[in-house]
C-alpha cells in the first residue's frame, strides 16, 4: 500500500505526563494540522499518562486504548473493538520526561533549521522533524498498524531508508548506527542474519556490545521507533483488561488499579526477542524503573507474565538504517549545545530572527526566533533562543540563553557570560502567572549521584564564593546523598516587595560587588528547587510567548522585505498569521509600510499583501479572488491614491476594510478592492518606465518614405502573466517564451511615414491597405479616447502620445504642434496576421512595432531595452497593464526566460 505523498494517518496521539498540558499540546497538534504538516482528516489526540512514571510501555498501551476507543466510537460501536485497527495507520508520539533546557520538553525544543518550501512559515521543533520523518521517510509503504516514536531524540533519515515490508508480520524496531563507546550508555539490538531480534541490551557489557557489532564495527542502537502490525497491536490491546496491566491505562486507574511502570523496549518488545527465556524475562526489570521493593518487583513480574503470554509468539524484526543517525537528547548542556551549533561553520546560523548587527555573531553560533537590537555579541558555540534583547550585551562562548525579553536586557549589561545556561520561565504560583529565572553551569550535572557542582564549581567553592549556606538550599534532615542540583532551592520565584528578574540569580557570578545586598534579597525571596519548579511551569504561557515573539520578529522581517524590495516571498508568513489567528498586527504593519514609503512600487506590494491576508483569511470560502473592484464604498480611498495622497489613501482603505471582516464573502470582496488599489499604484510605478526611455537623434526620413517594423509572434510555454503584479510579488514570476514566425513571416508589424498634411492618419487591420480601418485625427479632441482600450485606434493614438510626437495637454492645436516640430503630420498603419485573441502576444508586440516605427519616422533611434520600457509605459497609458514578455521575448528576437 504505497503512499508516495506520505502516510495518511488515521490517528496521531501525543502522550504527556502533566494533566494541565493536555489542552496546550492538543492545540499544538491542531496548529500543525492547519499548517498542512498533518493530513486534514487525521484524528488528533493529546493524552495524559494515567499516572506519572507509567513508563514508555504503559503510555503506549494507554494511548493505543484511547485510539481504539475513539475509532470505535466513530465507527458506531458501543464497546472498544480491535476491528477498527485493520484499516488504521496510528502514530503514537511520546513526550517523555522533563528536559532541563526547554520547559515544554524535548518535543518542542526549537532547532536552528527552517523549511523554505513550507507553505506556512513557522519555527521548526524537534516534533516537526519527527513528524516529517515518520510521515515521509519511515512510514510510507508500511501496512496498517501502530507506529510508536519517542520525541527525546534527534533523528536523521535518508529519503529512501530502504525498508522492505514484503510479507511483514509481527513487530519491527528501527535501528541506527552508533559507536561501541556510545552504546555503553545506551541500548543495542542483537539480531540474526535474517534480521530477527535475539536480545536487547541496555548498558551492556563489552562482550554483549561486541556481539551486536556489524561488519563495519558499528552497532544497531535502540532508537525509540517501533512498529506493530495490526495482529500484534490487537494482542497488545487485549492486555488492557488483564490485571495488573490494566493499571497502565486510564480505565484501570479509574477502576482503582495500582499503577505499574513498563518500558516499551525492555518489557513489551523484549518478550518477543528469540533468545530471551521466560525465566530470565520474569525476573528482570526495565532500566527506567530502577531498584524498588519486593512488592513492586512482584507486581512487575505479574505484568511481565501477562505480556509473555500475549506477545511472546509474535515476531520481532529489526530494520537497520545505515545512512541515518540517532542522538539521544541527554541532560548534558555540553551535548545539547553541540546539537544546536555548527563548529567550523563560517558564520552564525540565524533562523526566524532579526539581528541588527550580524557581524557580532560568532562563527558556529545559532540564533533562533530572536529580536536583537543594538550591539548584541554572541561568541562561538553559544545559542540564543526566544529572546528579545537590547544591547550592549556580550554573551561569551558555550552559553545557552533562552526566554528573556527586552525588560530583562538591562540585567545583562556589563556582564560577560561563559559556560552558562540562563533561562527565563513562565510559571503559575497558586494560579497567579509570574516569571522565574534559572542559572546553571554548562558542566553541572543533573544526576542525583556524585558530588555535584553548581555554576561549574564544587558546592563548597560556591558556598565560599557567594556566602550561600548549606541550610539555604536543603532542609537539615535532607540526607547528604539527596543534596544535589535538582533539589537545591536556588531559584527565586517571589519577593515580598518587588518583582524579580535575572539579576536575582546573576549576582552569584560576582557576589562581592554590593556588600551582600543581593544575597539578602535572595534569602528573603521564596525560592524553589528545579524539581519543585517543574510542576509550576506554565507551558501554555511559554508557547504563547514564543509565538508572540516569533510574530514580532516576523513583522520586522516583513517590513524589511518590503522596504528593501527583497525577492523573498511573504506568502508563508501571511498564511502563518492567518492560520494562527493573528492577522491584525500583520495588517497594521502592512498599512504602515504602504503609508510611509515614497515608492509607489513598495506601496503597491504592501497593498497586494493586504489583499493576500484578506483572501487567505477567507480560507477558500468566499468565492473567487478575481472579480470587480469598483464598489462605491471604496471610491473615496481610491480617489486619495489617484491624487497622490498615499498616506490618506492607506488610512481610508484601512477604515473601510474594518467594515468587511465579518464573513468570508466580504473578505474576498475587500481583497479584490485592495488589489484594485494596488493596481492604481502599480500603474503609477510603471508609468515611471518613461524615465528609462532614451533615444538617439538620426536623420529625419523624407516625407512619404515608409519606416517598417515587423516582429514575430510569441509562444508561452509556461508561466504566462505570472510575472505581473500582484501574483509576482509573493509567488515570483517565471515565463518561458519563444519568438516564432508564422508561415515563414513575421506576422505583426507597423509602418510609419511623414506626410505634408498636419494631421494623423491611422490605419488598423490587415497589411493590405485597402482592407484596413482608417481614422483621421485633425484635432486634439480626436485623440482624447487614447486611454480607452476598446476605442477605435486607441493603441495608435497612445503611441503618438507616448512617443512624444504630440501632447494632448498642450495649448497648441494638433496641427500647430505637428507643423512646428516636423513640418507636417504622420501616417501610421499597424497590422497582425494572427486571429484576434490568439494569445500570441499581439497587443504588446503591436505596441512595440508602432513605437519603433514612429520613433524612427520622427528622426529618433530607440534601443531594445528602452523600447521595452516604452511599451510598459504605453500599456499603462492605455490602461491595459500588459505583461513584460509580450514585447521582451519578441523585440529581443528569439526566446526568453523572464523572471520577476
pLDDT per position as a tens digit, 700-750: 999 999 999 999 988 888 776 677 776 777 677 788 888 889 888 899 999
Q: What is the pLDDT of residue 770?
A: 67
Q: What is the pairing mode between strands 145-150 and 219-229? A: antiparallel
Alpha-carbon span 875 to 478, nearest angstrom: 85
Q: What are the pLDDT digits (tens) for 591-606? A: 999 999 998 889 999 9
Q: What is the pLDDT of residue 609?
A: 95
Half-sphere exposure of 55 (CA within 13 A, CB side): 23
Q: What are the pLDDT digits (tens) for 618-636? A: 998 989 988 999 999 999 9
Q: What is the pLDDT of residue 616?
A: 94
Q: What are the pLDDT digits (tens) for 829-855? A: 999 888 776 667 677 889 999 999 999
Q: What is residue 612's three-state secondary structure?
A: helix
Residue 900 has pLDDT above 60, yes or no: no
Residue 645 has pLDDT above 50, yes or no: yes
Strand stretches in 84-131, DSSP E: 89-94
Q: What is the pLDDT of residue 176?
A: 97
Start-to-end C-alpha separation, the chain: 42
Q: What is the pLDDT of residue 889?
A: 46
Q: What is the pLDDT of residue 880?
A: 58
Percent of the chain past pLDDT 70, that is, above it, reads 93
Q: What are the pLDDT digits (tens) for 142-158? A: 999 999 999 999 999 99
Element (H, E) at 180: helix 180-183
Residue 512 has pLDDT above 80, yes or no: no
In this structure, are residues 384 and 378 in contact, taking their beta carbons and an 8 Å threshold?
yes
C-alpha cell at 87: 484499516
Q: What is the pLDDT of residue 226?
A: 98
Answer yes or no: pTM beyond 0.75: yes
Q: What is the pairing mode between strands 393-395 and 453-454? A: unpaired
Q: Which residue has the higher pLDDT, 308 or 842?
A: 308
Residue 882 has pLDDT above 60, yes or no: no
Alpha-carbon span 729 to 569, nearest angstrom: 7
Residue 887 has pLDDT above 70, yes or no: no
pLDDT band at residue 511 under the 50/70/90 scheme: confident
In this structure, are residues 402 and 366 in contact, taking their beta carbons and an 8 Å threshold?
no
Q: What is the pLDDT of residue 898?
A: 35
pLDDT mean over 175-199 = 95
Q: What are the pLDDT digits (tens) for 396-427? A: 999 999 999 999 999 999 998 999 999 999 99
Alpha-carbon span 314 to 145, nearest angstrom: 14
Q: What are the pLDDT digits (tens) for 86-98? A: 999 999 999 988 9
pLDDT band at residue 4 under the 50/70/90 scheme: very low
pLDDT mean over 757-786 = 89
Percent of the chain past pLDDT 90, that is, above it, reads 73
- The average confidence (pLDDT) of the chain is 90
Q: Say which residues have a Cβ less than 8 Å from residue 545's Cβ, sequence separation at least 6.
A: 386, 403, 426
Distances (CA, A) of 86 to 68, 139, 170, 384, 716: 11, 16, 14, 46, 50
Q: What is the pLDDT of residue 11?
A: 98
Residue 639 has pLDDT above 70, yes or no: yes
Distances (CA, A) of 240 to 81, 82, 243, 731, 777: 12, 12, 8, 52, 93
Alpha-carbon span 60 to 269, nearest angstrom: 12
Q: What are the pLDDT digits (tens) for 237-272? A: 999 888 888 878 888 777 777 777 889 999 999 999
Q: What is the pLDDT of residue 317?
A: 97
Is the Cα torsion angle 214, 219, 225, 229 positive or negative in sign?
positive
Q: What are the pLDDT digits (tens) for 67-76? A: 999 999 999 9
Amino acid at each position: 500500500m504505497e503512499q508516495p505523498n506520505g502516510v495518511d494517518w488515521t490517528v496521531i496521539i501525543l502522550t504527556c505526563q502533566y494533566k494541565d498540558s493536555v489542552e496546550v499540546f492538543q492545540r499544538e497538534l491542531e496548529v500543525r494540522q492547519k499548517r498542512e504538516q498533518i493530513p486534514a482528516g487525521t484524528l488528533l489526540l493529546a493524552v495524559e499518562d494515567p499516572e506519572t512514571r507509567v513508563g514508555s510501555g504503559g503510555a503506549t498501551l494507554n494511548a493505543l486504548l484511547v485510539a481504539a476507543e475513539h475509532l470505535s466510537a466513530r465507527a458506531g460501536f458501543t464497546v472498544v473493538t480491535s476491528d477498527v485497527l485493520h484499516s488504521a495507520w496510528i502514530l503514537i508520539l511520546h513526550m517523555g520526561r522533563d528536559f532541563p533546557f526547554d520547559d515544554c520538553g524535548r518535543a518542542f525544543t526549537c532547532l536552528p533549521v527552517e523549511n523554505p518550501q513550507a507553505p506556512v512559515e513557522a519555527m521548526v521543533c524537534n516534533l516537526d522533524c519527527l513528524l516529517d520523518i515518520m510521515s515521509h521517510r519511515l512510514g510510507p509503504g508500511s501496512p496498517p498498524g501502530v507506529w510508536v516514536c519517542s520525541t527525546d531524540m534527534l533523528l536523521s533519515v535518508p529519503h529512501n531508508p530502504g525498508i522492505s515490508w514484503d510479507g511483514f508480520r509481527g513487530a519491527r524496531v528501527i535501528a541506527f548506527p552508533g559507536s561501541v563507546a556510545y552504546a555503553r550508555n545506551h541500548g543495542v539490538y542483537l539480531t540474526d542474519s535474517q534480521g530477527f531480534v535475539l536480545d536487547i541490551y541496555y548498558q551492556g557489557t563489552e562482550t554483549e556490545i561486541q556481539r551486536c557489532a556489524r561488519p563495519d564495527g558499528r552497532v544497531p542502537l535502540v532508537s525509540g521507533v517501533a512498529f506493530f502490525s495490526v495482529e500484534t497491536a490487537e494482542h497488545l490491546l487485549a492486555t488492557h483488561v488483564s490485571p495488573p496491566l490494566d493499571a497502565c491505562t486510564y480505565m484501570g486507574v479509574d477502576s482503582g488499579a495500582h499503577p505499574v511502570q513498563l518500558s516499551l523496549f525492555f518489557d513489551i518488545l523484549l518478550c518477543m526477542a528469540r533468545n530471551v527465556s521466560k525465566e530470565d524475562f520474569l525476573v528482570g526489570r526495565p532500566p527506567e524503573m530502577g531498584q524498588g521493593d519486593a512488592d513492586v518487583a512482584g507486581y512487575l513480574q505479574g505484568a511481565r507474565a501477562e505480556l509473555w503470554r500475549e506477545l511472546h509468539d509474535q515476531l520481532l524484526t529489526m530494520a537497520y538504517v545505515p545512512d541515518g543517525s540517532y542522538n539521544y537528547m541527554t541532560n548534558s548542556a555540553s551535548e545539547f549545545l553541540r546539537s544546536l551549533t555548527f563548529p567550523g561553520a563560517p558564520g552564525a546560523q540565524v533562523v526566524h530572527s532579526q539581528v541588527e548587527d550580524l557581524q557580532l555573531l560568532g562563527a558556529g553560533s545559532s540564533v533562533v526566533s530572536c529580536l536583537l537590537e543594538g550591539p548584541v555579541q554572541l561568541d562561538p558555540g553559544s545559542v540564543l533562543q526566544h529572546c528579545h534583547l537590547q544591547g550592549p550585551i556580550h554573551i561569551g562562548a558555550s552559553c545557552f540563553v533562552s526566554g528573556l525579553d527586552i525588560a530583562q536586557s538591562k540585567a545583562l549589561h556589563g556582564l560577560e557570560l561563559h559556560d552558562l545556561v540562563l533561562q527565563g520561565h513562565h510559571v503559575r504560583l497558586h494560579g497567579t502567572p509570574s516569571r522565574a529565572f534559572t542559572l546553571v553551569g554548562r558542566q553541572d550535572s543533573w544526576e542525583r549521584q556524585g558530588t555535584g557542582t553548581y555554576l561549574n564549581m564544587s558546592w563548597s567553592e560556591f558556598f565560599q564564593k557567594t556566602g550561600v549556606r548549606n541550610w539555604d538550599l536543603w532542609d537539615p534532615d535532607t540526607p547528604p546523598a539527596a543534596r544535589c542540583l535538582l533539589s537545591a532551592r536556588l531559584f527565586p520565584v517571589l519577593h515580598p516587595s518587588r518583582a524579580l528578574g535575572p539579576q536575582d540569580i546573576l549576582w552569584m557570578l560576582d557576589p562581592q560587588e554590593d556588600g551582600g545586598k543581593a544575597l539578602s534579597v535572595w534569602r528573603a525571596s521564596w525560592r524553589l528547587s528545579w524539581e519543585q519548579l517543574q510542576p509550576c511551569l506554565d507551558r501554555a504561557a511559554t508557547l504563547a510567548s514564543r509565538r508572540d515573539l516569533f510574530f514580532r520578529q516576523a513583522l520586522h522581517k516583513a517590513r524589511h522585505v518590503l522596504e528593501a524590495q527583497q525577492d523573498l516571498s511573504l506568502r508563508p508568513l501571511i498564511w502563518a498569521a492567518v492560520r494562527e489567528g493573528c492577522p491584525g498586527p500583520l495588517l497594521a504593519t502592512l498599512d504602515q509600510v504602504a503609508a510611509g514609503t515614497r515608492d509607489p512600487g513598495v506601496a503597491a506590494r504592501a497593498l497586494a499583501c493586504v489583499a493576500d491576508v484578506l483572501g487567505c483569511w477567507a480560507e477558500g470560502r468566499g468565492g473567487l479572488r478575481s472579480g470587480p473592484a469598483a464598489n462605491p464604498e471604496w471610491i473615496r480611498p481610491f480617489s486619495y491614491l489617484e491624487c497622490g495622497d498615499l498616506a490618506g489613501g492607506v488610512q481610508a482603505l484601512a477604515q473601510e476594510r474594518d467594515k468587511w471582516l465579518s464573513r468570508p464573502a466580504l473578505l474576498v470582496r475587500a481583497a479584490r478592492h485592495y488589489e484594485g488599489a494596488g493596481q492604481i499604484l502599480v500603474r503609477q510605478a510603471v508609468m515611471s518606465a518613461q524615465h528609462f526611455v532614451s533615444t538617439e537623434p538620426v536623420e529625419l526620413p523624407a516625407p512619404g518614405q515608409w519606416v517598417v517594423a515587423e516582429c514575430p509572434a510569441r509562444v508561452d510555454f509556461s508561466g504566462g502573466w505570472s510575472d505581473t503584479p500582484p501574483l509576482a510579488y509573493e509567488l515570483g514570476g517565471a515565463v518561458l517564451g519563444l519568438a516564432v514566425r508564422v508561415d515563414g513571416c513575421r506576422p505583426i508589424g507597423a509602418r510609419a511615414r511623414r506626410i505634408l498634411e498636419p494631421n494623423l492618419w491611422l490605419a488598423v487591420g490587415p497589411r493590405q491597405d485597402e482592407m484596413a480601418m482608417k481614422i483621421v485625427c485633425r484635432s486634439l479632441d480626436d485623440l482624447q479616447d487614447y486611454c480607452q482600450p476598446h476605442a477605435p485606434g486607441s493603441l495608435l493614438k497612445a503611441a503618438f502620445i507616448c512617443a512624444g510626437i504630440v501632447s494632448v495637454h498642450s495649448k497648441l492645436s494638433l496641427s500647430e504642434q505637428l507643423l512646428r516640430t516636423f513640418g507636417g503630420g504622420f501616417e501610421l498603419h499597424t497590422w497582425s496576421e494572427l486571429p484576434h485573441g490568439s494569445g500570441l502576444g499581439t497587443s504588446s508586440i503591436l505596441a512595440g512595432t508602432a513605437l519603433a516605427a514612429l520613433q524612427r519616422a520622427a528622426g529618433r533611434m530607440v534601443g531594445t531595452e528602452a523600447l521595452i520600457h516604452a511599451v510598459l509605459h504605453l500599456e499603462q497609458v492605455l490602461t491595459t497593464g500588459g505583461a513584460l514578455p509580450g514585447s521582451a521575448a519578441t523585440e529581443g528576437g528569439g526566446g526568453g526566460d523572464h523572471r520577476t
